[in-house]
Amino acid sequence: SSPSVIVVGGAGYIGSHVCKAFAQQGILPITFDNLSTGHNHAVKWGPLIEVDLCDRATIFEEIEKHSHVPLVVHLASSIEVGFGEKHPDSFYMNNVVGALNLLDAMKNSSINKIIFSSTCATYGEISNLPINEKEVQSPYSVYGKTKLAIEHMLQSYHKAFDLNYVTLRYFNAAGADESGEIGEEHDPETHLIPLALASAAGLRQRMKIFGNDYDTPNGTCIRDYIHVNDIAQAHLLSWDKLQNGLTKAELNIGTGKGYSNLEILKTVEKVTGLPMPYDIEPRRDGDLSQLYADTSRAQSVLGFEAKYSDLDFIVRTAWRFFKSKHQI
């Protein structure tokens, strides 16, 4: 039978792009998702199994049914940073307990390979830029703390139970598949690019830029925007390496280049051809001034290089998806 992969969170923004990339390589993606934030309509390339990671008994059952699958990709998690600060109980339950249940179900079924979605938010404020994987991880947000706790679980399960893993620390995922059929549709949306597109389209208020008094050239925060299909490719490369003897790795997945919030607004203005008025607001709690990746380890371990992450292309594909979704 043809190879397959379990994609936990396959109905989400990044998960759906990962599923498409696997399917294009002839690997059947089997989505596990509770559809709490993901979308049924984004699962197009394989079956959907509706299951919640916090339901330990059902996760054990479903993973056992699929114990012939060699590898799990785990992207399901709570990601809304502000919500996590107010509801850490919900974040630790969903992210940490959910991951624990998944790893235990894998152990029970002898599936011993996993690719895990982590984040640059596990680092905290780093003055040494670009950020290298050897930096101390001292996350500021509850979100980053739950992701780091899972990274530690993987390391411990690797040592004790021979679980092999690749942890991908994504920088800022952005853009959409060129087809326009899948893209970013969070509710509520909190991310800069989709909000700016909605403002430009007149579907929401003027943009608010959170702070212009950071220690950066124009005072606004700097982020490393990586196209979601580059992230998807990093999963294919990780799959290949894990199938061929790689036992563990922690890797930054970014472009190495940072853009300020004002540069993003300018690009949105240029791509959409629409005016992009904005107001400067106070800083948002939990934001760090500059985050961009040292990408050399992902390059040497995976042969990974961002190919789709030109900022114009990111915004163009995000805009195409936005227009098709809103029938503009």
**Which sequence positions are flagged as catalytic?**
143
Taking each helix axis from N to C end, the angle separating 261-272 and 192-200, rounded to the nearest 10 degrees, works out to 40
* Of 55 and 80, CB closest to ligand UFG: 80
* Of 31 and 290, CB closest to ligand UFG: 290
150 interacts with ligand UFG by CB under 6 A: no
Q: Site size for ligand UFG, by CB under 6 A? A: 19
Bridge partners, 48 (sequence order): 31
Question: Which one of 96, 120, 197, 242 is in contact with ligand UFG (CB under 6 A)?
Answer: 120
Half-sphere exposure of 76 (CA within 13 A, CB side): 30
105 interacts with ligand UFG by CB under 6 A: no
25 interacts with ligand UFG by CB under 6 A: no
Closest distance of CB 2 from ligand UFG, Å: 32
Q: From CA 95, how far away is CA 219, in angstroms rounded?
A: 33
Residues 244-273 touching ligand UFG, rule: CB under 6 A, are 261
Q: From CA 232, how far away is CA 234, in angstroms rounded?
A: 5
Question: Which one of 69, 150, 192, 228 is in contact with ligand UFG (CB under 6 A)?
Answer: 192
Residues 193-232 touching ligand UFG, rule: CB under 6 A, are 195, 208-210, 221, 223
| CA distance readout (Å), 74 to 15, 95, 99, 225 | 9, 11, 8, 21
The amino acid at 226? I
145 interacts with ligand UFG by CB under 6 A: no
Closest distance of CB 19 from ligand UFG, Å: 19
83 interacts with ligand UFG by CB under 6 A: no
Q: Which two tokens stand for residue 186?
A: 């969070």
* Of 69 and 298, CB closest to ligand UFG: 298
* Of 70 and 82, CB closest to ligand UFG: 82
Q: From CA 22, how far away is CA 14, in angstroms rounded?
A: 13
* Of 106 and 226, CB closest to ligand UFG: 226
Dihedral of the alpha carbons of 242, 245, 250, 254, in degrees to the nearest 10: -60
Taking each helix axis from N to C end, the angle separating 228-243 and 13-24, rounded to the nearest 10 degrees, works out to 60
* Of 190 and 300, CB closest to ligand UFG: 190
Closest distance of CB 273 from ligand UFG, Å: 21
Comparing CA positions, the residue from 170, 195, 160, 197 lying closest to residue 116 is 170
Q: From CA 117, how far away is CA 168, in angstroms rounded?
A: 5
- Chain residue at closest Cβ approach to ligand UFG: 221
Question: Which one of 190, 205, 218, 243 is in contact with ligand UFG (CB under 6 A)?
Answer: 190
92 interacts with ligand UFG by CB under 6 A: no
Bridge partners, 131 (sequence order): 293
* Of 131 and 209, CB closest to ligand UFG: 209
Is residue 184 within 8 A of residue 328, CB to CB? The reply is no
Closest distance of CB 318 from ligand UFG, Å: 12
Buried b (16+ CB within 10 A) or exposed e, 15-33: bbbbbbbbeeeebbbbbbb
Is residue 117 within 8 A of residue 14, CB to CB? The reply is yes
85 interacts with ligand UFG by CB under 6 A: no
Q: From CA 153, how far away is CA 136, in angstroms rounded?
A: 17
Q: Which two tokens stand for residue 241?
A: 């390496």
Question: Which one of 56, 248, 266, 284 is in contact with ligand UFG (CB under 6 A)?
Answer: 284
138 interacts with ligand UFG by CB under 6 A: no
Closest distance of CB 118 from ligand UFG, Å: 8
| Interface contacts to ligand UFG, rule CB under 6 A | 79-81, 119-121, 172, 190-192, 195, 208-210, 221, 223, 261, 284, 287
